[in-house]
């Protein structure tokens, strides 16, 4: 062995020694998730090695995912189960296009922001008068409603009503096969806990609601994207993904798909179900936009009879996001273990929220609100499209209903650049890649037509597009 | 090889063949969780083996936990992540003493039931007038409160107020280090997701709140019991458990412990924290009964400064279980990942609930309610003890405050028998072993003093005790 390779080898051993020490501190919980590692200089002294050895050891541990570097502030122990922000998963994105950051911004009370990229209706579009009336009714009502826990499955009268409403869409779900949850998201989370193990494959649409990515990461599932077409997921790609990955689960919106507005055609629905059956795949049909439809589209849960399909809903998008209430309709034999799981992990299903929703559904005010809302959304959809057209921004499809329109930017323009430029004008956009697992939607933006009536949005877009077209090198950089 | 051993071997191979076929069907999701396995007779025909071979194969698979038998209805595929009911974990218990079943019963709207075993106050003890008033105020208030999502951390004014209230107990938690959740249980669940991996050791008090067992099972953690003493956990047993199991987490109520009513002494608190530090252990201090204390006891989070201790609270037990609101106070660097995790899995933190709680805390009605409640509970505690004394049921300790008194039955009497007998009289009791991981609390019952004022409870207890004393063989059977 020559001197140099001997030196290299002992250098390698020193690096491994430093790595082993950090690993054992983490294993012994001397370093807990989120805690900062010793500084390079200090740890070099402790271990009696050179700073560059510590740097190399830390970088290798970061490569393994055991620790994370935060630029300018050192290294930290990774949290085992916390979902990473998308900027850490995919290519390096900046805040303006990190979907979780955009999401959080949209949720902050920041009246100066315009939010064509956000995922819900403006407060003024929601049935406030009816909610005020329902609150007053509850304030005069039975005392137990105000203070007691809900029943394990959730308010029986609301489950009865939900069962009837699903029946109208052809979904046969008895009240006892419905569980109330805090939200649609919590419903899907419960199902993931119940159905999948870390490492299991889960199909999602590409693009899809971006929180599915975060949710699946929290479950350490292996998310697999299936390209979306105007009539549902690309069925050949779906079949290939099944053969290749043997996924356990597919999560989708079969109607008024978020973000594309697509609706699954009967043919695609039928093929999907056949493939799901062959592969033993469970489908979560997240149907939180159902009530915005003009004509009910065919539902997977209706074709399937809740055999392989679990049906999810909530009222956050159509009634109130402040009053938390979602639901699961599932096969009979899953209800008991799902309820146990709900009780163990959240108790869940607030009684006050359920009673409020029940009142609003019962007295007809929700139905009236929906009738007006559909018309208003349809008009806003046309207006938004008309305002975007002169900018060269064109709808991928004209959705049948709903609040989203998925739009193609002029060729060569990167939505991330536009989002970044518009953010400087206090306009929060939703760039396509926030929804795309394969990061193939850089030419798209999702517009919420109910949040797109301010002319400043379009002026900001126009400026950003002009600048992007003028100096593409500057803005797109070497991404 | 003689003929008989050859036969045995081929019998063994046939059993393995059946097992392999079921395993592969489950792996391929032809059999999904909860689905019924083919009947013994039918599958014997399919596999061309004898029914006894199938029975043996099914029983072995059940032994492995892959499938479960339901008496009288065959075998079913196990759910990977659903917590089993305690009757499936521990020794065979019947429904009357399965804590999850008792819990569910208590939650059902069943006015005929008397519930000295339940875990919350009667509706009439809760501040209904104040809640009605707050509901009316909200019905007249800002529209966004009624319909919009909450901010990611949760209502800023409520977090400020919680920060001040914690400050009064010596816990320094800035508003930005507080996250609102749906409930105390959801808070602990989030922390478990963040901090532990399947198989990790988690210390709990023995006895402890029984839902901790279910929650930890849902996380597939290895729960380890530490015996409780009147001044907190047995510190030597705690140390031994640390050395033996290297746990990651300890979940406790350091004051007004559920079910025993014990309060951690300053000496024990100090030793606990020293041991936790040495072992790199995180402590979740679940403090949902804090507001019932007459004099604030020392809090682990106060000694520790939220370094290793996470502080949890909610208003379900003291204000309303219908208005869902819990919170986490944690170290600064955990707030962001915990918030990401909350958003990904539930969005969470309903705005309406938070605003209601804020109003009740702000206008002084909560404080007045608590003052009256403490006196009332203290009186009920004495009355319950006085009614139990003639039956030979004696408090383990006289708790400083709270709604629970942990009582020892006369020697030789099994609480499960008493619970079973009283259930026939529509009296739902909480037998000790429902709270005990080691199943060493068969001589105990937990009484909720606020739910124990009906004379029928004590008449039913008296009868059950007499019968148990008269014919112990009959009731305790061969358990």
Q: What is the CATH number of the domain that holds A338?
A: 3.40.640.10
- Closest residue in chain B to residue A214, using alpha carbons only: B344
Q: Count each helix (H run) and each strand (E run) in chain B, helices first.
A: 19, 14
Per-residue pLDDT of A310-357, as tens digits, reads 999 999 999 999 999 999 999 999 998 899 899 999 887 789 999 999
What was the pLDDT predicted at A69? 74
Percent of chain B with pLDDT over 70: 88
Per CB-CB distance under 8 Å, the chain A contacts of B183 are 346-348
Q: Where is the domain boundary, B24, B54, B80?
A: B80
The shortest CB-CB distance from B131 to any of A36, A147, A194 is to: A147
Band of residue A90 on the pLDDT scale cut at 50, 70, 90: very low
What was the pLDDT predicted at A66? 76
Where are the extended beta strands (E) located within A59-194? 67-70, 74-77, 178-181
Q: Where is the domain boundary, B349, B364, B379?
A: B364
Those of residues 163-202 in A touching chain B at CB distance below 8 A are 182-183, 185-186, 189, 193-197
Per CB-CB distance under 8 Å, the chain B contacts of A107 are 149-152
User: Is residue A172 domain-shared with residue A216, that is, in the same domain?
Assistant: yes
User: Is residue A379 domain-shared with residue A362, that is, in the same domain?
Assistant: no
Band of residue B379 on the pLDDT scale cut at 50, 70, 90: very high
Those of residues 255-284 in A touching chain B at CB distance below 8 A are 279-282
What was the pLDDT predicted at B474? 45
In degrees to the nearest 10, what's the CA dihedral of A217, A221, A227, A233? -120
Per-residue pLDDT of B105-122, as tens digits, reads 667 767 788 999 999 999
User: Is residue A326 domain-shared with residue A231, that is, in the same domain?
Assistant: yes
Residues present in chain B in total: 479
**Cβ neighbours of A438 (radius 10 Å):** 13
What was the pLDDT predicted at A26? 77
What was the pLDDT predicted at A354? 96
Band of residue A29 on the pLDDT scale cut at 50, 70, 90: low
Those of residues 279-338 in A touching chain B at CB distance below 8 A are 279-282, 308, 316, 319-324, 331, 333-334, 337-338
Number of domains chain A contains? 3
Q: Answer whether B115 touches A (CB < 8 Å).
A: no
Q: Do B346 and A29 touch (CB under 8 A)?
A: no
User: Is residue B18 domain-shared with residue B69, that is, in the same domain?
Assistant: yes
Q: Answer whether A35 touches B (CB < 8 Å).
A: yes
What was the pLDDT predicted at B418? 94
Band of residue B226 on the pLDDT scale cut at 50, 70, 90: very high
Between B3 and B395, residue with greater pLDDT: B395
Q: Do B30 and A280 touch (CB under 8 A)?
A: yes
User: Is residue B248 domain-shared with residue B356, that is, in the same domain?
Assistant: yes
Percent of chain A with pLDDT over 90: 67
What was the pLDDT predicted at A83? 39
Between B462 and B105, residue with greater pLDDT: B462
The whole-number average pLDDT for the span A438-465 is: 96
Q: Which of A346, A356, A357, A359 is best to mutate for the B interface (most B CBs within 10 A)?
A: A346
Band of residue B229 on the pLDDT scale cut at 50, 70, 90: very high
User: Is residue A43 domain-shared with residue A177, that is, in the same domain?
Assistant: no
pLDDT score of B349 more than 90: no
A114, β-bridge pairs:
A427
Of A82-91, A210-219, B343-352, B406-415, minimum mean pLDDT range: A82-91
Between A246 and A69, residue with greater pLDDT: A246
Q: Which of A30, A31, A34 is best to mutate for the B interface (most B CBs within 10 A)?
A: A34
Q: Do B123 and A147 touch (CB under 8 A)?
A: yes
What is the rounded distance in angstroms from the CA atom of residue A454 to the CA atom of residue A461? 12
Per CB-CB distance under 8 Å, the chain B contacts of A104 are 152, 343
Band of residue B216 on the pLDDT scale cut at 50, 70, 90: very high
Tokens of residue B239, six digits: 């140390």
Omega before A207 within 30 of 0, i.e. cis = yes
Omega before B296 within 30 of 0, i.e. cis = no
The whole-number average pLDDT for the span B238-244 is: 96
The shortest CB-CB distance from A340 to any of B80, B83, B340 is to: B83
What was the pLDDT predicted at B18? 92
Q: Count each helix (H run) and each strand (E run) in chain A, helices first.
A: 19, 14
Q: Where is the domain boundary, A366, A396, A415?
A: A366
Å between B412 CA and nearest CA of chain A: 32
User: Is residue B427 domain-shared with residue B388, that is, in the same domain?
Assistant: yes
The whole-number average pLDDT for the span A102-119 is: 79
User: Is residue B327 domain-shared with residue B458, that is, in the same domain?
Assistant: no
pLDDT score of A87 more than 80: no
The whole-number average pLDDT for the span B424-451 is: 94
Q: ipTM greater than 0.90, yes or no?
A: no
Band of residue A388 on the pLDDT scale cut at 50, 70, 90: very high
Band of residue B7 on the pLDDT scale cut at 50, 70, 90: low
**Average model confidence (pLDDT) for chain A?**
88
The whole-number average pLDDT for the span A146-157 is: 92
What was the pLDDT predicted at A84? 38
pLDDT score of A244 more than 50: yes
Those of residues 374-403 in A touching chain B at CB distance below 8 A are none
Closest by CA to A380, choosing from A369, A372, A391, A390, is A372
Per CB-CB distance under 8 Å, the chain B contacts of A203 are none
Tokens of residue A448, six digits: 């919420």
Between A83 and A223, residue with greater pLDDT: A223
Q: Do B100 and A334 touch (CB under 8 A)?
A: no
User: Is residue A317 domain-shared with residue A396, that is, in the same domain?
Assistant: no
Range of the domain at B468: 88-125+367-476
Q: Do B147 and A131 touch (CB under 8 A)?
A: yes
What was the pLDDT predicted at A220? 87
Q: How many CB pairs under 8 A join A and B?
A: 302
The residue written with tokens 């279980």 in the block is: B321
Per-residue pLDDT of B62-97, as tens digits, reads 777 678 776 566 787 775 544 333 333 333 345 555
User: Is residue A352 domain-shared with residue A385, that is, in the same domain?
Assistant: no
User: Is residue A362 domain-shared with residue A442, that is, in the same domain?
Assistant: no
Per CB-CB distance under 8 Å, the chain B contacts of A360 are none
Band of residue A259 on the pLDDT scale cut at 50, 70, 90: very high
Q: What is the CATH number of the domain that holds A23?
A: 1.10.10.10
Å between A194 CA and nearest CA of chain B: 5
User: Is residue B355 domain-shared with residue B400, that is, in the same domain?
Assistant: no
At residue A186, the 3 state secondary structure works out as helix
Of A81-95, A237-251, B371-385, B408-422, minimum mean pLDDT range: A81-95
Q: What is the CATH number of the domain that holds A462?
A: 3.90.1150.10
pLDDT score of A479 more than 70: no
At residue A168, the 3 state secondary structure works out as helix
- Closest residue in chain B to residue A319, using alpha carbons only: B147
Starting at the edge strand that comes first in sequence, how are the strands of the sheet with B404-408 ordered?
B394-395, B404-408, B444-448, B430-431
| Spatial contact of A403 and A292, defined as CB atoms under 8 Å apart | yes
**Cβ neighbours of A224 (radius 10 Å):** 21
pLDDT score of B479 more than 50: no
């Amino acid at each position: 062995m020559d001197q140099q390779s001997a030196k290299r080898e002992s250098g390698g051993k020193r690096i491994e020694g430093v790595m082993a020490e950090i690993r054992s501190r983490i294993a012994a919980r001397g370093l807990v998730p989120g805690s900062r590692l010793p500084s390079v200089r200090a740890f070099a002294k402790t271990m009696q090695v050179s700073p560059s050895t510590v740097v190399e050891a830390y970088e290798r541990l970061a490569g393994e995912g055991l620790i994370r570097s935060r630029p300018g502030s050192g290294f930290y122990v990774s949290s085992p189960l916390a979902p990473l922000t998308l900027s850490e998963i995919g290519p390096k994105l900046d805040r303006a296009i990190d979907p979780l950051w955009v999401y959080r911004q949209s949720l902050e009370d920041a009246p100066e922001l315009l939010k064509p990229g956000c995922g819900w209706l403006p407060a003024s579009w929601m049935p406030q008068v009816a909610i005020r009336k329902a609150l007053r009714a509850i304030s005069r009502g039975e005392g137990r409603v105000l203070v007691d826990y809900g029943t394990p499955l959730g308010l029986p009268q609301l489950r009865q009503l939900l069962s009837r409403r699903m029946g109208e869409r052809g979904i046969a779900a008895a009240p006892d096969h419905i569980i109330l949850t805090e939200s649609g998201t919590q419903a899907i989370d419960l199902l993931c806990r119940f159905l999948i193990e870390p490492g299991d494959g889960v199909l999602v649409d590409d693009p899809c609601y971006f929180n599915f990515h975060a949710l699946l990461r929290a479950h350490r599932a292996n998310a697999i994207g299936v390209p979306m077409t105007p009539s549902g997921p690309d069925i050949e790609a779906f079949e290939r993904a099944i053969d290749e990955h043997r996924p356990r689960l597919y999560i989708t919106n079969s109607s008024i798909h978020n973000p594309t507005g697509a609706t699954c055609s009967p043919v695609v629905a039928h093929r999907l179900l056949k493939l799901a059956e062959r592969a033993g795949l469970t489908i979560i049909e997240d149907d939180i936009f159902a009530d915005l439809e003009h004509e009910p589209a065919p539902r997977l849960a209706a074709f399937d009879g809740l055999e392989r399909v679990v049906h999810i809903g909530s009222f956050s998008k159509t009634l109130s996001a402040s009053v938390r209430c979602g639901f699961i309709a599932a096969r009979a034999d899953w209800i008991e273990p799902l309820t146990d799981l709900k009780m163990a992990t959240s108790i869940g299903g607030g009684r006050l929220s359920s009673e409020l929703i029940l009142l609003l559904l019962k007295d007809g005010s929700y139905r009236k609100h929906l009738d007006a809302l559909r018309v208003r959304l349809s008009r806003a959809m046309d207006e938004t499209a008309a305002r975007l057209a002169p900018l060269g921004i064109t709808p991928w499809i004209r959705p049948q209903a709903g609040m989203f329109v998925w739009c193609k930017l002029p060729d060569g323009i990167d939505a991330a650049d536009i989002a970044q430029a518009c953010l400087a004008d206090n306009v929060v956009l939703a760039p396509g890649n926030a929804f795309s697992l394969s990061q193939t939607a850089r030419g798209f933006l999702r517009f919420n037509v109910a949040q797109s009536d301010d002319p400043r949005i379009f002026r900001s877009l126009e400026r950003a597009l002009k600048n992007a077209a003028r100096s593409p090198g500057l803005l797109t950089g070497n991404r």
